[in-house]
Structure 1
Amino acid sequence: MRIVVVTPPAPVVTLAEAKAHLRVTGTAEDTLIEGMVAAATQHLDGPAGWLGRALGVQELEARLDLSCHPSLIRLSFPPITSVTSVTYLDANRAPIVADPATYELIGEDVIAIGAPAWANAYSGREALRVRFVAGYAVLPAPIRVAILLMVGDLYAHRETTSPVATTSIPISVTVQALLEPFRVYR
């Protein structure tokens, strides 16, 4: 299964929050700080993120092969709030949008009601596509604090090397401890 971002999330940590955390009052470094917030968030969020979950509300699309005609599809990157659409290719490879009454979302699973509408579909690569909305309406405090701590590290250590040692700056133990309960291992 491949997951693509259809609609990316809005920033989950605002510039004002980051500046307050850094104790920056002027506007000269706003662009730099916004970039650091974006970098820290992207490191954690969505299909490429370390956490294995969606942080801000976003629309994702799961693209599956239909070699086994699944009646249960487990979606990735919780929390999942809704399914926007299920589309599959028919035998002529024409896209068909499944009737929402033929499936339901239970937790992270899209479950076919009765025989899957896509049971007689074309069984090629990415023949089934499930669009869904995932992410937090209100970001949990530990994740917000972890992003702010990461921004603080990036702000304090703007260079990739220091005169003392040429080592990269890893995720701190504190940040990892805050994030570990939210990490999804697949």
Structure 2
Amino acid sequence: MTATRVIEPATEPVSQAEMKAHLRLTGTAEDELVGQLIAAARAQVEQETRRALISQGWRLYLDQWPAGRVVQLPVAPVQGISQILVFDEDGVPNALAETDWRLDKSTSPARVRVKPGAGLPSSAVMAIEIDFTAGYGASPSDVPETLRQSIRLLAAHWFEHREAGTELAMASVPHGLDRLLAASRVRLL
């Protein structure tokens, strides 16, 4: 099972203006760096929690259906599935009808149950593709405040401790970040 982001988020959960206010910056000299730190902090928070913050497109590749034909989607929260493709022996994709599968968003991670006999893949590697949208929504205000605060804390830590070799710069995360992220982390089953 391999998952890849195929559509990047259209915006960041924390705006540059919010981050500059958090850092108490008034000039524009550090704007490019602040933007890069926000993006890097968002990516780190998403990786640590196994969550997509702003709506983004994902593709899950499978070699075959798992036991029971129940597929756990590796990123949360799932907004919906756009298509499920199954490749035949000749490599021709066939889309499963929406009546052949059911998305269960009540669990975390979300899962898809495929009807028995629907979409029999070939023996090829990556014979199944599931395209889905994950994230809390398209707007930064859709993202829970604890995750937005995690981004601000991490970006500020990296902004303040840019030099290598100091004890604080070598600290992996700012104090309290692990507690903020722990509550939102999607457990692996």
* TM-score (structure 1 length as normaliser): 0.89
Most deviating of 94-103 and 78-87? 94-103
- SS of alignment partner, residue 112 of structure 2: strand
- SS of alignment partner, residue 182 of structure 1: coil
Alpha carbons 1:69, 1:118 under 8 Å: kept: no
C-alpha distance in structure 1 between counterparts of 2:103 and 2:147, whole Å = 26
C-alpha distance in structure 2 between counterparts of 1:129 and 1:103, whole Å = 13
Task: For residues 35-77 of structure 1, give each alpha carbon's deviation from its aligned partner in whole angstroms, at most 9, with x where no partner exists.
Answer: 11111111122xxx12112121101011001165752111111
C-alpha distance in structure 2 between counterparts of 1:27 and 1:167, whole Å = 24
Specify every segment of 5 or more residues in structure 1 that has no aligned partner in the other structure, as ranges: none
Q: RMSD in angstroms over aligned alpha carbons?
A: 1.7
Deviation at 1:159, TM superposition (A): 1.3
Residue 19 of structure 1 is matched in structure 2 by 20
Task: For residues 103-158 of structure 1, give each alpha carbon's deviation from its aligned partner in whole angstroms, at most 9, with x where no partner exists.
Answer: 1211111112x424213x20321100000000112111111111101111111111
Alpha carbons 1:67, 1:124 under 8 Å: kept: no
Q: 1:181 to 1:7 in 2, by over 3 A?
A: same
Q: How many residues align?
A: 179
Q: How does 1:37-52 map to 2 (within 5 A)?
A: 37-45=38-46, 49-52=47-50
* TM-score (structure 2 length as normaliser): 0.88
Deviation at 1:19, TM superposition (A): 0.5
Q: What is the one-letter code of the residue matched to 2:134?
A: A
Alpha carbons 1:56, 1:135 under 8 Å: kept: yes
Alpha carbons 1:87, 1:130 under 8 Å: kept: yes
C-alpha distance in structure 2 between counterparts of 1:76 and 1:129, whole Å = 13
- SS of alignment partner, residue 57 of structure 2: strand
C-alpha distance in structure 2 between counterparts of 1:102 and 1:167, whole Å = 52
Alpha carbons 1:40, 1:151 under 8 Å: kept: yes
Question: Normalized per residue, which structure has more helix?
Answer: 2
- Give the share of equivalent positions with the same residue, in percent: 28
Q: Quick check: 1:77 aligned with 2:75?
A: yes
Specify every segment of 5 or more residues in structure 2 that has no aligned partner in the other structure, as ranges: none
